[in-house]
Amino acid sequence: MTNYFDEAVKRICESVRFDSSLAKYSSKFPFGRGAADCLCHFLKLAETLGFETENYDNYIGEVIFGSGKEEFAILCHLDVVPAGDGWTKDPFGGTIEDGSIWGRGTVDDKGPAICCLYALKSLKDKGFVPSKKIKLIVGCNEESGWGCIEHYNEVTKMPEKGFSPDANFPVIYAEKGILHLRLHFPMPTAPFLHLEGGKQGNMVCDRCEATPRSLTVTKARELGLTVQNKKIIAYGKSAHGSMPELGENAILPILKFFESKSEVVARIIDCVFNDIYGLKELSDETGRLTMSPNVIKYRKKQVLVLVDIRYPATVPVQEVLSRVAKFGVKYETVHSQAPLYHEKDSELVTSLLSTFEECTGVKAEPIAIGGGTYARAIKEGVGFGPEMPGDPPVVHMADEHITLERVKLLLEIYEKAIERLTK
């Protein structure tokens, strides 16, 4: 497997250099030119390695290995969230420094996708003949709506079993449900002329700005705000929407500036930050509900707040929505995904857990997460890597990177896992 380490590192760097974040739609490039170019780069690479490929209209593609009647899926994605602020490296540079590859997508999820491709190549080279048809599926819209998966299901058939290398080790047996809700807070008279913050629903807002009707510089600075050209600006720290505690939400200090000037602003703070209706009290073995208001805009006499909610896997979604209804404002569902839940002793979970323990020497138990992966796009799917317990958080954050040692380990783990599950 180490024969392909240098090659895998090179190709990860190349892939990172495509800005594959969501861009303007066109019939040829449904998620933007960058995502389509990144997909074509991946599929062309797979073809040079001797694999059959399919590109489904630049929505999603797949690499095929084997010809068994039963199919097995490895679900990855090549799109990324926007770079955001605070980087010390070029987010689309794909540079190698300090023993790591740096850039957006190195961990989430271009790096693991490339490692899975070279795991297939290594198996192919040693003459392995899988009993199942393996489909390495690479989507281009995982981060912002799953339109790629919808298109895949329209044009072909999704395998019923597989894993997604877009989560954590040792094995993810459960994922919380996901709700992205846009809340409409009417504001006939606003204490600001302009208010806007956040880039994407599943990223903690790292920059928010407003133009007050009256500016108190002293108060702004007491709240840690920057004053610039009659605007106030708050800088936070981005993080994955499923783990808002790892970030610093820039929306709150801006709202705090206006709290005493507007009952509506105070209401927004109470609902989405102070959680006066107890959404975060909902919990089960997959953890407590998390709620992260990640995008805010003032438009047409209303404040629109896009909230990322990750709710416990065994809690009915209606229980969540019944508490949201107490906010007393209109809301719309922008995106939703039902929870994923598998028994810990299922064959898929135990096989992957055994592989992890064999490759790392670490005894571990399957875990649950708040993030949502492609694993829930198939009937029996789980998350499997690439993040290890104790890793510093980098997903959806500035200076995302993957260590070269991790790339080497992923090549080994994914080759053994694929062989074990498809022999």
Catalytic residue positions, numbered: 79, 142
The span from the CA of 149 to the CA of 422, in Å, is: 23
Measured CA angle at 175 (ends 171, 176), to 5 deg? 155
Q: Classify each residue of 328-352 as buried b or exposed e, where b means 16 or more C-beta atoms within 10 Å of its C-beta.
A: ebebeebbebebbbbeeeeebbeeb
What residues contact residue 12 under an 8 Å CB cut-off, 6+ apart?
A: 94, 101, 106, 110, 111, 114, 402, 407
What is the CA 378 to chain-centroid distance, rounded?
Answer: 17
Contact between residue 268 and residue 228 where contact means Cβ atoms under 8 Å apart: no
Closest listed residue to residue 114, CA positions, set 417, 410, 423, 393: 410
Any idea which residue has 């009993």 for tokens?
A: 131
The span from the CA of 313 to the CA of 47, in Å, is: 39
Contact between residue 384 and residue 171 where contact means Cβ atoms under 8 Å apart: yes
